[in-house]
Amino acid sequence: MDEDRIPTGIAGLDRVIEGGLRDNTTLLVVGSSGTGKSTFAMQYLMYGLENGENALYVSLEEPPEQILEEAEKLGFNMKKYHESELFFFHTKGEDFKQLVEEQLPALVEANKDYSVRTRVVIDPLTPLIWSISDKKEQRELITKLFYTLKQLGAVLVTTEEHSAPGETIGEDVLIPVYLSDGAIHLTYRPIGGAFNRSLEIIKMRATRHGEEVYPYIFVRGIGVVAKTTPVVSPEDANKYDGMFDKAIKTASDLGASEMFLDKIRYVKKYWSYSFSPKETLQMLFETYGLTQAIKKDDVSGSENVDKDNTFSSQSEQSSNESSQQTTESFDKSDEENEGGESDTVEIEDLSELEELAG
């Protein structure tokens, strides 16, 4: 990771989102009734409170007293922090414009003098969504709400969906999903008389995240526990370094720009899949037109002939000849080139990178 991440405190989740959330971002937790959205919210705030952070709970439905009682039943002692590190912002009715345009900006302004990190929860956003039928007005208000609260820190927002049969995400939550920086979908399906709950990461901007469907359970005293495995296991972290290094050398031998080489290096650094990057590298080379084998001397020499043309007709002829020679010589590379490097390579040889890297 190149930046500090804010742990969510959701057991199992951080290992598949690069250690946590980016600061000043919005995470939307979407799910139907009973999937545990409020548990997510409480668990997220409690982790921060237990680690010396402040917390703001924006409730658009239940009063603070009821939230504190429900938290206690889950094993969260939120009362311990109430009105010292934990603050509630409770609003009723449909007067959300005043909340978003006046009250919350004033709160953010007052908080600027504090150096302690603040975790923010909006639980749930549903009343605001349902109270505004005009989609344009709804989008403008949610945009302003997210923008305002993100100035305090990372924000977790819950919203209830009512998706129709066959829908992945309900239509009523499409706008907040689009406007959020990250979105998690919670679902449950009855199987054999029991509820099988699962978690899926819909999106997580600027984050390498897991793409599986993860089952989860509720554990009193902990909250949500998701059954996940790290996106990149320790044994797989550097598994394909040799393949990427070979691809970099191949590109360099083909006269690729430093920009292209940096692109491969970046992919190497953040490759998070357990399967081979061979096919991805092949397509990358094809996309940038690196499909002919040529000598490095031909590339540098062609710049002096005509800067507007990549290769002169003379260099093309040389390329075709060297390509044929390279094909023959590269077949023997495993035996002949162990102690040295060839001046020519061929893009088709990327299909052998796994063997070479191995």
- Checking DSSP bridges between strand 182-191 and strand 118-123, what pairing results, if any? unpaired
pLDDT of residue 214: 93
Instruction: Please report which residue ranges of 224-310 form alpha helices under DSSP H.
Output: 241-253, 258-270, 278-287, 296-302
**In a 3-state reduction of DSSP, which class is residue 351?**
helix
- DSSP string covering 140-185, please? HHHHHHHHHHHTTS-EEEEEE--PPTT-SS-GGGHHHHHHSSEEEE
Residue 303: the pLDDT is: 40
Kindly give the parts of the chain with pLDDT less than 50: 1, 293-347, 351-358
Structure-token match 């005043």, residue found:
98
**Amino acid making up residue 107:** L
Global pTM exceeds 0.85: no
Q: What is the CA radius of gyration of the chain?
A: 27
CB atoms within 10 A of CB 5: 16
Tell me how crowded residue 198 is: count the other CB atoms within 10 A of its CB: 17
What's the distance, Cα to Cα, between the start and end of the chain in Å? 27
Helix (H, G, I), strand (E, B) or coil at 129: helix
What gap in Å lies between CA 149 and CA 308, rounded to an integer? 52
**Which one, of 247, 287, 249, 286, lies nearest residue 267 by Cα?**
247
Torsion of CA 245, 251, 252, 257, to 10 degrees: -120
Query: Residue 90: helix, strand or coil by DSSP?
Result: strand
Encoded tokens for 262: 């940096």
Q: What is the pLDDT of residue 304?
A: 41
Nearest CA among 23, 30, 289, 244 for reference residue 151: 23
Say what the pLDDT of residue 125 is. Answer: 93
In 3D space, the residue among 132, 194, 185 whose CA is nearest the CA of residue 160 turns out to be: 185
- The helix or strand, by DSSP H or E, that contains position 89, with its residue range, turns out to be strand 86-90
**CB hemisphere CA count around 91 (13 angstroms):** 21
Task: Kindly report the length of the chain.
Answer: 358
Rounded Cα distance between 353 and 28, Å, is 41
- Cβ contacts of residue 232 below 8 Å, gap of 6+? 271, 272
Looking at residue 189, its pLDDT comes to 78
> What pLDDT, on a 0 to 100 scale, did the predictor assign at position 341?
44
What does the pLDDT look like over 113-166, one tens digit per residue? Answer: 778 899 999 999 998 888 888 999 999 999 999 999 999 999 999 999 876 655
Q: For 190, phi and psi rounded to 5 degrees? A: -70, 125
